[in-house]
Structure formats: C-alpha cells, structure tokens
Structure 1
Amino acid sequence: MTDIRVTARPGAHQGLLHIAGDVFPCALGRAGLVAKKREGDGGTPVGHFALRELLYRPDRLEAPSTALPSRPIAPDDGWCDASGDPAYNRMVKLPYPASCETLWRPDGLYDLVVPLGYNDDPVVPGAGSAIFFHLAKEEGDGLGATEGCVALRLADMHAVLARVTPQTRMTIGLA
C-alpha cells in the first residue's frame, strides 16, 4: 500500500508531501498544523486520514488516472460547514439553508478535490469540516495557505492520484 506523509516546513502554511520516494511542496492551513481542530481556526488537523473519493470538475478536466472512486461535481454541489446543522461536514445540494462551501469554484481550487476522512465517522459538531486534499493556489514564490486543507499544484496532484488506492492513508504531521 502506498501511503502519504505530510510534514510542515518553516513558515506556518508550507509543507512537504511524501509518497513512494517522491516529495512535493504542498500548502497547509493558514494556522499550520493543529492537534485539536476547531471549525474556522484555519489549521490543518494532525492525524491519519483515509482518502474518501476523488471529485472533479468535468467542464475543466477529464477524470485523472486513479484507483480512487471518482465522480464529477456539478454547479449545485456544496459542503455544509454549519456545525449545528444535521448535514455538517457532508456534501449537500445548493441552495442549502445553512452555511456551506460551494464546490464548483471559479478559482479552480476544487477542480480536483479529495475529501479526507476527518471528522466524518462520526461527525462531531464544531470539530472542523471540509478538510480536503485539493489544488493549490500560487502565491508569490510558493503556494498560498488553505483554510485547513492540504493542497498541491495540478501536475503534482496528478502524480499523487496515479499512485493512491482506496486503502491509502494520509498521515499529517505525525512521524
């Protein structure tokens, strides 16, 4: 089994993603790695997480080569981030009556997005939602911070997705 290890670099939101002998620069949450994740804190949670499935935006990209279950997203797909809502940390259809994130983004960050198995079995209200492995935004000479996710450049994401399986785990910040 090919697992992924994510470590922090100097600078709160910079990291390295290690897989099968290769290392890729990655972006982390604006608050860096956090041991106790809370909704809206900007931290990337420390732990071991499953890669649930690949969601992709079919009007921009073809489904990449991966062994993960894959499905296209649509303009009305969202992810609930309202901690008091029954759909908290779940995919929803827009418009949705509670606060949620739109997956069909104009900036392309979710053109490829893998929900991580964080706070989803069971869901704990307020413990953080929408922790994804997605595409990074370029910022200056590096990658811009996320809201708590792990993000890679497009070419690096393709290289990683080609190596993962449904059994792959992402270990963030642990030896």
Structure 2
Amino acid sequence: MKPTDLVLTPTHLRFMNRRFPCTIGRGGLTDRKKEGDGATPRGTHRIVGMLYRPDRMARPADWALPIGPSDLWSDDPSHEDYNLMVRAPYPYSHERLRRADPMYDLVILTDWNWPYAVKGRGSAIFIHQWRGPGRPTAGCIAFRRDHLRWIAARIRHETRLVIA
C-alpha cells in the first residue's frame, strides 16, 4: 500500500497517518457485489472523480466538478447508461445527485464497475457524507462532513481506496 491510499480497516479508515470513523454498506463487505445488496465491495479501487454542490460549498479541489440540478446517476442494470452519470429527464431507474439532504454535497467517485459496467454487479460506490455515526450506507463509504472535506482536499490522482 502507498502512503496516499485510503485504507479501510474494521474500525475506521486510515489516510495520511490519520484515522477517520466511517460507515459502510448495510450488507457489510463482500467479494460478490450485486445491485441492491447494500454491500461494500472489497478490492483496490481508483478514485476517478469528485463532485460537489456549488450552492452549498466552495470547490473542494481544483479538479472537482459541480453537481447541477439535473444530474443523476443511472442504477438501472437493464439500461446502456448503467453506472454512469446521466441528466434529467431520465425515465430509467436512477439516483438524484442533487439531494435535499447534505449527503451528496461532496461525492468522491470510485472506479467500482466503471467505466464498462457489468450489468447487475452494482453501481456507484461513492465516498460521501454520512447520515450519522453507525448509520450504514447502501454500499458506499461515508464520513463526517469535516472529515470528508479534509480528505477531499488531500487526495490526488494516484490515491486509491483499499478495502481488504
């Protein structure tokens, strides 16, 4: 592992010699991720993007892209846009990126099942803000807002998310 890696342990995430409490998917960790299982996939995942709400925060990194009102994420395994960012109107199953709650104010994108998605293998393993300590995600990794912002400001192109 590299010093720039985000490393998930059973009790926290380690990054740049610091430890951060976090939450994972309600389905625990898995080697066999499936759409809708709520599990967080083990493996080494590259960081491939960062999105943020410009109406709620300053740009967290010079390479972060703004989330617009019509930005969505396709989670429909039967559609060709599965596990890709899409725009409304979009008649297929999707997740709204511009949420009323603050959970997706800052989203770090991983390369889980991307860019060439295997249908049904699961979509969008994001790093985002948590709902609260101990409250699981749908498969993503989530942090306290201030911790997420600290991490976002320091990750680089070579940063990886390592889930053993």
Interval containing the TM-score (normalised by the shorter chain)? over 0.9
Equivalent in 139, 154, 158 of residue 145 of structure 2: 154
SS of match in other structure, 1:158: helix
Structure 1 contact 8–32 (Cα < 8 Å) conserved:
no
CA RMSD of aligned residues (A): 1.2
Structure 1 residue 121: Cα displacement:
3.7
Distance (whole Å) between structure 1 residues aligned to residue 158 and residue 45 of structure 2: 10
Q: Is the 8 A contact 1:29 1:147 kept in 2?
A: yes
Alignment length (residue pairs): 162
Matched-pair contact (CA < 8 Å) for 1:54–1:71: yes
Q: Secondary structure at the match of 2:150?
A: helix
Correspondence 1:115 to 2:117:
no
Report what 1:27 is aligned to: 23
Q: Which runs of 5+ in 2 are unaligned?
A: none
Indicate the residue corresponding to 1:134 in structure 2: 128
Contact residue 8 and residue 33 of structure 1 kept, 8 A? no
DSSP-derived class of the 2:149 partner: helix
**Normalising to structure 2: TM-score of the pair?**
0.95
Partner of residue 168, structure 1: 159
How far 1:162 moved relative to its partner?
A: 2.2
- Structure 2 match to 1:88: 82
| Match in the other structure for 1:7 | 9
CA contact (8 A) 2:46 2:111 kept: yes
Q: Residue 145 of structure 1: CA displacement?
A: 0.7
Cα displacement (A) at 1:20? 1.3
> Using a 3 Å threshold, how does the CA distance of structure 1 residues 83 and 62 change in structure 2: closer, same or farther?
same
In structure 1, C-alpha distance between the alignment counterparts of 2:153 and 2:98, rounded to whole Å:
23
Contact (CA 8 Å) 2:84, 2:115: kept in 1 or not?
A: no
1:97 partnered with 2:97: no
Distance 1:116 1:27 in 2: 16
